Amino acid sequence: MHMPNLRQAVFAVALTSVALVPGTAFAETLSLWARASSSNAAQHMIDLWNASHDDKIELTTIPDNQMVTKLATSVQSGDVPDLISFDLIFMPDFMKAGFLTDLTDTLSADPNQEKVAQAFKDLASYDGRLYGTGFTPDVSILLYNKDIFVKAGLDPESPPKTLAQLQEYATTIKEKVPDAYGYYFSGSCGGCNIFTQAPMMWGSGATLLPTAGDAPAMDGPGVVEVLTMLKEMWEAGIIPESAEADTGANFFSTFESGNIGMVGSGGFAISALKANQPDMNFGIAPLPGINEGQASSFVGGDVIAIPKGAKNADLATQFIQWQLTDEAQLEGLAKNLILPSRTDLADNKYFQEEPRYIVTAQAVGIGQTPYAFKFNDMVNADQSPWLTMIQTAVFDGDVEGAIEGAREAMRAIAAD
């Protein structure tokens, strides 16, 4: 063998040996899909990870209404991202369809997973297995105008703690404050109302969406009471007439106008109002139930999971565990005024200058998310059973008929 060839052979072996030494493998670039609504929050987490890890993550933003089809198609073709962040309401359907990787062994051994809001843990479970966890939460709250409270003779530091108080306060506002309305909701928006009216039902003890054709649906205390409250406020003119046709376009802007006493809203309201209406004096409170101590919320936002067939599943799992750490939850989320998914971090150094964030973050710990298959068909679709029930009960005045119609239609969807 000629010496030049020998040197080349030794050099090649040396290169191979270096590549096999732990810690010297080439860095990977992982892909993360996030729906457009949460891509800003996801980017904060990705930036924090990329700043301290050799393996990088790249974000691809998917339009909200394309995420379900996009994931289904990618799983079937085998061309999936390493990570996916999506609206948590789709978790049951994705798990049932077999689209996601089982993370039970990893997450059940992670002490940070125990601190994640119960709503995320419940919704990410299927047949006793765990397929994801909380990522970038949002939550519903009661938003109220403190200046209107003062004008109505109400204590601005004492928001309603029961449904009866909410109706009483709304009535007082309408009676005592010229050109003001006590309450507002988007009467033609199914998603808006599952987010803001439903927590007052399930906080009172109700079970709303069925998981099977013979499962409880629109049952228990709270359903009749909330719908009756809304109907009576509508009939009394406490809710503006524009609410009936609102498809969600004015879900938030109507409160911004300054003549609405109370409205169900989301955690995003704090930063939006401070930016758009810096002089507005507003308060944040949990959504009440029938009795004191029954406050609840809709825990929304995104879960994070690994699609079945992901090529870098091990690294993706490391990211999922990392994003539950104190560093990620505080420096990636709370620092950017995004709610943490861990309930133990609700009261943190970044929220203490704005206590309304603490109240909102605490709502994540007391809230729920409906566990249902075909959620879109039951709730979000045009003329869904949920929306039809709201409209029939409130605007047509038939509470009992509305509930029975929704129950039958929802069970039919669940049984299909």
Specify the CATH number for the domain of residue 72: 3.40.190.10
Same domain, 74 and 177: no
* pLDDT score of 26: 75
* pLDDT score of 25: 60
Name the phi and psi angles at 384, rounded to 5: -65, 160
Strands 83-87 and 299-305, sheet pairing = antiparallel
Q: Is residue 7 part of a domain?
A: no
Cα separation of 32 and 69, whole Å? 16
Same domain, 260 and 305: no
Q: Is residue 1 part of a domain?
A: no
Domain that residue 177 falls in: 139-298+371-415
CB 277 within 8 A of CB 17: no
Same domain, 205 and 256: yes
- One-letter identity of residue 123: L
CB 71 within 8 A of CB 99: yes
Same domain, 224 and 259: yes
Q: Is residue 4 part of a domain?
A: no
Look at the chain and report how many structural domains it folds into. Answer: 2
Extract the tokens encoding 176.
Answer: 């005592």
Cα separation of 92 and 131, whole Å? 10
Q: Is residue 223 part of a domain?
A: yes
Cα separation of 414 and 410, whole Å? 6
Q: Is residue 88 part of a domain?
A: yes
pLDDT in tens, the chain (416 residues): 443 443 444 334 333 333 444 444 679 999 999 999 999 999 999 999 999 999 999 999 999 999 999 999 999 999 999 999 999 999 999 999 999 999 999 999 999 999 999 999 999 999 999 999 999 999 999 999 999 999 999 999 999 999 999 999 999 999 999 999 999 999 999 999 999 999 999 999 999 999 999 999 999 999 999 999 999 999 999 999 999 999 999 999 999 999 999 999 999 999 999 999 999 999 999 999 999 999 999 999 999 999 999 999 999 999 999 999 999 999 999 999 999 999 999 999 999 999 999 999 999 999 999 999 999 999 999 999 999 999 999 999 999 999 999 999 999 999 98
Same domain, 145 and 211: yes
* pLDDT score of 237: 98
Same domain, 101 and 168: no
Q: Within 113-189, where are the H helices?
A: 118-123, 146-151, 163-176
Same domain, 58 and 94: yes
Same domain, 35 and 120: yes
Extract the tokens encoding 264.
Answer: 């169900």
CB 296 within 8 A of CB 200: yes
Q: Is residue 19 part of a domain?
A: no
* pLDDT score of 16: 39
Same domain, 94 and 202: no
Q: Is residue 244 part of a domain?
A: yes
Q: Tell me the sheet residues that pair with 263.
A: 143, 184
Return the DSSP state at 283.
E
Extract the tokens encoding 13.
Answer: 């072996």
Q: Is residue 14 part of a domain?
A: no
Reference 185, options 277, 294, 89, 287; nearest CA is 287
Quote the strand ranges of 232-338, DSSP E.
260-266, 282-285, 299-305
Same domain, 406 and 340: no
Three-state SS at 124? coil
Same domain, 131 and 181: no
Reference 261, options 185, 190, 188; nearest CA is 185
Q: Other C-beta atoms within 10 Å of 20: how many?
A: 9
Same domain, 282 and 311: no
Extract the tokens encoding 132.
Answer: 């994801």
CB 139 within 8 A of CB 360: yes
Strands 181-184 and 260-266, sheet pairing = parallel
CB 39 within 8 A of CB 46: no
